[in-house]
Chains A and B, each alone.
Chain A
């Protein structure tokens, strides 16, 4: 089983619908992230969480919200989806304590492809 699991893997929805992308991890990491990938733009950070009580906006948080339900779970919501939110979304984790050095190394899920019509 994957250490970082995203559901759903693929989703097609319509403009205006509410969508939730879920991420769970078995790595025991405190830090979790949501990134968005668009062709030619690389990965852009949407939100990140350093622990259950710590949520922070990334560079492109408008139109998105998140919930950190537990150390292992971090959900991304689109309250009212629009076509330009069509993208590949990645959840990632990092562990600032495991190696004794906080390097920022990320461990990724396999992605959730969202299409908004």
Chain B
């Protein structure tokens, strides 16, 4: 079985500040890792994904994440956030025989002026 823990349910920051959204996972097999973003009143869209190779993954809108196998983490970062980054962010993991995604409970990022 696999699971995902998003360590912060809410993260308030000021515009142009850096931000880190934390995600830890557990799995008994090799995994693929994802971050999805949900803007207000919209569906989920893929922000970035780690499949293999370089542990630093770059995504859309200036976000990046680093896969750390020893710490079983996949934290999302952005050096300078904008008001438009206000959204809910979901970390997800897949692995095993049928590669179903398991989601964390989400982190609400609120960017204040």
Residues of A with C-beta under 8 A to B90 = 42-43
A18 to chain B, nearest CB (A): 25
- Category for how many chain B residues contact A: 20 to 34
Q: Is the CB of A104 within 8 A of B104?
A: no
Indicate whether A84 reaches chain B with its CB closer than 8 angstroms.
no
With an 8 Å Cβ cutoff, the count of chain A residues facing the other chain is: 23
Q: Is the CB of A101 within 8 A of B51?
A: yes
Q: Is the CB of A106 within 8 A of B43?
A: no
Q: Which of B34, B98, B105, B106 contacts A105 (CB 8 A)?
A: B34
Indicate whether B7 reaches chain A with its CB closer than 8 angstroms.
no
Q: Is the CB of B100 within 8 A of A105?
A: no
Indicate whether B101 reaches chain A with its CB closer than 8 angstroms.
yes
Which of B9, B44, B92 is the most central at the interface, judged by chain A CB atoms within 10 Å of its CB?
B44
Q: Is the CB of A106 within 8 A of B105?
A: no
Indicate whether A40 reaches chain B with its CB closer than 8 angstroms.
yes
Could you tell me the distance between the alpha carbons of A109 and B45 in the complex, rounded to whole angstroms? 9
Which residues from chain B sit less than 8 Å from chain A, CB to CB? 9, 32, 34, 36, 42-46, 49, 51, 90, 92, 94-95, 98-101, 103-106
Which residues from chain A sit less than 8 Å from chain B, CB to CB? 33, 35, 40-45, 48, 50, 90, 94, 96, 101-106, 108-111
